[in-house]
Amino acid sequence: MESVTPSAMAEATTSSSNQQTLGNSNNQQALVFMTDFGLRDGAVAAMKGVALAVEARLALFDLTHEIPAFQVWEGAYRLYQTVGYWQAGTVFVVVVDPGVGMSRKSLAVKTDSGQMIVCPDNGLLTWLAPKLQAIYEIDEEQQRLPGSSDSYTFLGRDLYAYVGAKLASGQLKLEQIGPSLKEINKLNVQTPQLHDGCLSGMIPVLDIQFGNIWSNIPKHWLEQLGLSLGDHIDVRILEGEVMRYHGQLPYVRSFGAVANGEGLLYVNSLLDVALGLHCDNFARRHGIGSGVGWSIELRRV
């Protein structure tokens, strides 16, 4: 059985509908925002106002604005988790930018499935890197919001929202945005491994609302280890070299297969291995985090 990626799902959906042709004047061109700005002040609304001034008919959406401040790692995963479910032609404006005003580049890229992303070159595209078909550096002097040259600390408004709206509306082509690039900055990801009967990977992110643990180990690797639904699996979670959790969990389809409060191993909505507690919070209960240094090991019982 093949693993179904988000992009594959989006394609499946698209193919059942022929109403998304870009350039159709009845169509909404979608612009999706993701930041670490929160929603307590006017920053996101200023970005949206700028985008609508470029083209009043754009359809604006939010991925999330609750990326913890400066956490590029988490932003990169939230973006990867979501992009594939949006139509070709959708533009994402992504701003998690601890280096604002420093020398890092600004990027505009296109994925294999046709979505575009505008963001700083600081690792936000780590997980999507294998799926990029085109990468351009934004010429920050040429492309910024007219009248904003005295402002150095809000590129989300003055550059990214403005350029994203130009792209989404078709006023600017991706190729016109600046020089083409071969390389982007990426975070250090630990790829899954199967070694001596131990299947290991990392915990890139938590399913934060419910406290489930998400790994980067694809479902089909479980089968390579000879595991199938109903088996019990030996699970270890490490932070660096320190073991933070050790237990045996049943591999089941969903939460309802175990009693309230009991643990389970399941395949999450991205078809990767995940851990949870039915109607409880695994991460909080066991003190588990995510990102750099957090790894997971699975073995047959």
Long-range contacts (CB closer than 8 Å, 24 or more residues apart) made by 251-260: 251/222, 251/227, 253/229, 255/279
Give the shortest CB-221-to-a second copy separation in angstroms: 14
CB nearer a second copy, residue 13 or residue 224:
13
Give the shortest CB-186-to-a second copy separation in angstroms: 20
Q: What span, in angstroms and rounded, lies between the C-alpha atoms of 71 and 123?
A: 10
Other residues' Cβ atoms within 10 Å of the Cβ of residue 295 = 17
- Give bridge partners of residue 235 from the DSSP assignment: 247, 298
Structure tokens at 41: 């002040």
Structure tokens at 87: 């139509």
Give the shortest CB-26-to-a second copy separation in angstroms: 6
Q: 3-state DSSP call for residue 239?
A: strand
CB nearer a second copy, residue 55 or residue 234:
55
Nearest to 274 by CA among 237, 231, 223: 237
| Cα–Cα distance list, 198 to 168, 171, 230 (Å) | 46, 52, 19
Give the shortest CB-91-to-a second copy separation in angstroms: 13
CB nearer a second copy, residue 221 or residue 266:
266
Residues in the chain: 301
Give the shortest CB-248-to-a second copy separation in angstroms: 21
CB nearer a second copy, residue 242 or residue 259:
259
CB nearer a second copy, residue 87 or residue 111:
87
Other residues' Cβ atoms within 10 Å of the Cβ of residue 256 = 11
CB nearer a second copy, residue 19 or residue 228:
19
Give the shortest CB-147-to-a second copy separation in angstroms: 4
Give the shortest CB-128-to-a second copy separation in angstroms: 13
CA atoms 272, 276, 279, 283: torsion sign: negative
Give the shortest CB-135-to-a second copy separation in angstroms: 22
CB nearer a second copy, residue 96 or residue 298:
96
Q: What span, in angstroms and rounded, lies between the C-alpha atoms of 93 and 148?
A: 18
Structure tokens at 221: 């690797």
Buried-exposed string 84-114: b where 16+ CB fall within 10 A, e elsewhere: bebbbbbbbbbbbbeeeeeeebbbbbbbebb
CB nearer a second copy, residue 25 or residue 188:
25
